[in-house]
Amino acid sequence: MKGIILCRSKYGASRKYADWLSEETGFKVIDTKNADIKEVSGYDTIILGGGVYASAVAGIAFLKKNIDALRGKKIYVYCCGAAPYDDEILDIIKKKNLKDKLSGIPCFYYQGMWDLEGMNFADKAMCKMYIKMLDKKDPSTISAWERPFLEAKDKKCDWTKKEYLTPLLELIRKDAENSDQ
């Protein structure tokens, strides 16, 4: 099985998951921003991972642009956000990022990291505004996936867990076995 992991990570979580996936599969990891479709189309299995910023998955544009050239390949997407896993969140992310020709691609969501102080100026400003808005909300209307933003605020958090990758790794192995038969 020949595979590659494309990853776009600003704050480290998606990269951490990419490195764990690489340990388990032997696939090399490259930054999606340096990905060349001529190289990527030489692999049978492509995993694309990226951070979630305002519900958009970093690096997904590479798949949108090149999906025709990747026809017949096994493609998987994972993404990392600060919110804990929730079916509704995954649904929102899929609707926004995996439309049209990308709609059948399996997509996994993992909880990532949070470091308000380590963010760049624009990200910090946007996240501070978001927290301010949540702070003003009636606490009884705050959803389970909004709560971590309020609890984290300016604390550094790392919610990554290697075990979250098990379903994706199992699917990759199962697909590889099926294509060998």
CB of 12 to ligand FMN, least distance (A): 5
Measured from the CB atom, the residue of 12 and 106 that comes closer to ligand FMN is 12
Q: Pick the closer one to ligand FMN by CB: 154 or 177.
A: 154
Q: Interface residues with ligand FMN (CB under 6 A)?
A: 9-14, 51-55, 80-83, 112-114, 119, 123, 126-127
What's the min distance (Å) between Cβ of 27 and ligand FMN?
Answer: 18
Q: What is the tally of helices (H) and strands (E) in the chain? A: 7, 8
Q: Which is nearer to ligand FMN, 56 or 169 (CB)?
A: 56
Q: Minimum Å distance from CB 96 to ligand FMN? A: 10
| Shortest CB 181 distance to ligand FMN, Å | 36
Q: Greatest CA span in the chain, whole angstroms? A: 57
- Provide DSSP, 61-115: HHHHHHGGGGTTSEEEEEEEESSPP-HHHHHHHHHHHS-GGGTTS-EEEEE-EE-
- Nearest CA to 19 out of 9, 28, 8 is that of 28
| Type and span of the H or E element at 30 | strand 28-31
Question: Which CB sits closer to ligand FMN, 70 or 90?
Answer: 90
